[in-house]
């Protein structure tokens, strides 16, 4: 396609039948198919009909077709996250990048409430070209990160939290309001979007 991106199918409001039809169309056109936001029940129904489909449970995604092997060398994208509750967003971003042959260096559990775990990992971030920082609750991780390293940072607010932070709005607004310069942000839980933004940035190399 014109933009050079695997256009993900958003599975949330689609029936298993609709997803199957779309994946068959991709397959016929010999294109890699990626479906996001697929519940376990829907995934099972699709797999029953199309056994070649691969289900990615953590990422709540389906793929059909071979993922391209990433080139050798250090992964160009680091994906950071504050806690294990952000796992499915991290997995969605990682899978979307591997659909384009891009490897990811994952740094989990580096939330700002335990700052030293994050500071300890800074040297490891040096080889990354782009950083994706996922955080729920108050979402301060990308802000702190943007004050520490010079690369592009994409903040992904996560819909983890309760009370005032339920649904991810507090994390989103905190990232947008950040006083650290040059942080950009995508929609809540939008791991796929963050991956595509990273892809656009990597093409500059």
Do the bridges between strand 33-36 and strand 61-64 make them parallel or antiparallel, or are there none, so unpaired?
A: antiparallel
Please name which of 137, 150, 138, 140 lies closest in space to residue 181, comparing C-alpha atoms. 150
Binding mask 119-148 for a copy of itself (x = CB under 8 A): ----------xx------xxxx--xx-xxx
Q: 10 Å Cβ neighbour count for 116?
A: 8
- Considering only residues 52 to 91 of the shown chain, the ones binding Mg ion according to CB under 5 A are 82
CB of residue 48 to Mg ion, shortest distance in Å: 29
Q: Interface residues with ligand AMP (CB under 6 A)?
A: 7-10, 36-37, 83-85, 113, 179, 181, 190, 192-193
Alpha carbon distance 126, 17 (integer Å): 45
- Given CA atoms 156, 161, 167, 168 in this order, what sign does their dihedral have? negative
DSSP string, 8-61: -EE-TT--HHHHHHHHHHHHHTT--EEEES--HHHHHHHHHH-TT-EEETTTTE
CB of residue 38 to a copy of itself, shortest distance in Å: 13
Q: Does 165 bind a copy of itself (CB under 8 A)?
A: yes
Query: Which residue of the chain is nearest Mg ion when measured via CB?
Result: 82
- Considering only residues 37 to 66 of the shown chain, the ones binding a copy of itself according to CB under 8 A are 37
Q: Which of 28, 66, 71, 205 binds a copy of itself (CB under 8 A)?
A: 205
CB of residue 179 to ligand AMP, shortest distance in Å: 4
Q: Which of 33, 65, 152, 191 binds a copy of itself (CB under 8 A)?
A: 152
Q: Does 135 bind Mg ion (CB under 5 A)?
A: yes
Q: Does 172 bind Mg ion (CB under 5 A)?
A: no
CB of residue 7 to ligand AMP, shortest distance in Å: 5
Alpha carbon distance 33, 62 (integer Å): 8
């Amino acid at each position: 396609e014109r933009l050079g991106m695997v256009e993900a199918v958003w599975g949330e409001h689609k029936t298993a039948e609709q997803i199957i039809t779309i994946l068959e169309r991709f397959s016929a056109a010999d294109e890699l198919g990626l479906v996001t936001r697929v519940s376990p029940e829907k995934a099972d129904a699709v797999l029953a009909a199309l056994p070649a489909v691969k289900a990615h449970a953590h990422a709540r995604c389906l793929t059909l077709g071979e993922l391209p092997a990433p080139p050798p060398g250090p992964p160009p994208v680091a994906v950071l996250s504050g806690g294990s509750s952000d796992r499915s967003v991290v997995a969605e971003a990682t899978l979307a990048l591997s659909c384009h042959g891009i490897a990811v260096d994952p740094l989990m559990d580096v939330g700002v409430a335990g700052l030293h775990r994050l500071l300890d990992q800074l040297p490891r971030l040096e080889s990354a070209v782009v950083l994706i920082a996922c955080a729920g609750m108050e979402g301060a991780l990308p802000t702190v990160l943007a004050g520490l390293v010079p690369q592009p940072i994409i903040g992904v607010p996560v819909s983890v939290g309760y009370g005032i932070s339920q649904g991810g709005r507090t994390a989103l607004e905190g990232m947008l309001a950040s006083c650290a310069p040059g942080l950009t942000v995508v929609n809540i839980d939008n791991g796929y979007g963050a991956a595509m933004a990273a892809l656009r940035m990597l093409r500059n190399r």
